[in-house]
Amino acid sequence: MANEEKQAPKPIAVDESKAVSCYANFCRVTGSPEELIVDFGMNSQPMGTNDKPVEIQQRIVLNFYTAKRLLHALHISVQRHEEVFGQIETDIQKRVVHREGEPTT
């Protein structure tokens, strides 16, 4: 046993040649007891009422084990980003800059 050394796991090979990229400013999470459904789309009116429905462009279905690994990976990534660039404010009303002389609503 002394001669046996623990080896680090080899990274998983990933083929990205068929990956499709898209942009989303909207996501919705729904699911069942067995899986989570994450929908991504574009909200053309993020700052007000939208007469047009949000068009869902991508849907990812995950089991809860994969969802938990994704949650952890996203948490670490956002945490690292905020350490470098500062806190991300998700409340859009707190990010709005009001100009002097303009009425505030």
DSSP 16-58: -TT------SEEEEEE-SSEEEEEEEE-S-TTS--SSPPEEEE
Q: What angle do CA 55, 61, 63 make, to 5 degrees?
A: 155
Amino acid at 34: E
Considering the chain, what percentage of its residues have pLDDT values greater than 90? 61
Mean pLDDT for 77-93 is 94
Q: Residue ranges per domain, the chain?
A: 26-86
> What does the pLDDT read at residue 100?
77
Tokens of 39: 């929908």
Model pLDDT for residues 22-34, shown as the tens digit of each residue? 999 999 999 999 9
pTM: 0.71
Is the pLDDT reported for residue 17 higher than 90?
yes
